[in-house]
Amino acid sequence: MSLLELKNINQYYGGSHILRNVNLKAEMGKVTVVLGRNGVGKTTLLKSLMGLVPIKSGSIELEGQSIEKKNPYERARSGIGFVPQGREIFARLTVEENLEMGLAYKKGGTPIPSELFELFPVLKQMLHRRGGDLSGGQQQQLAIARALAAGPKLLVLDEPTEGIQPNIIKDIGKVIRMLADRGNMGILLVEQYYDFAEELADEYVVMERGEVIAAGPGTEMAEKGIRQLVAI
DSSP state for residue 111 in the 8-state scheme: P
Residue 232's pLDDT is what? 64
Question: Among 206, 210, 197, 199, which Cα is nearest to 229's?
Answer: 206
pTM of the model: 0.95
Per-residue pLDDT of 81-112, as tens digits, reads 999 998 899 999 999 999 999 998 888 888 99
Residue 75's pLDDT is what? 96
What is the mean pLDDT for each group of 10 consecutive residues in the chain (232 residues)?
A: 95 91 98 94 95 95 96 95 92 97 86 96 96 95 96 96 92 97 97 94 96 97 95 74
Task: Report how far apart, in Å, the C-alpha atoms of 104 and of each of 12, 39, 82, 147, 151 are.
Answer: 32, 32, 14, 11, 12
Question: Among 74, 3, 10, 55, which Cα is nearest to 212's?
Answer: 10
Q: From start to end of 112-199, where are the E strands? A: 154-158, 186-190
DSSP state for residue 134 in the 8-state scheme: S
> What's the sign of the alpha-carbon dihedral 17, 63, 143, 217?
negative
Torsion angle of the four alpha carbons 117, 83, 176, 205, in this order, in degrees rounded to the nearest 10: 180
Residue 104's pLDDT is what? 85
Residue 231's pLDDT is what? 84
Q: Which fold has domain 4-87+148-230?
A: Rossmann fold (3.40.50)
Residue 211's pLDDT is what? 96
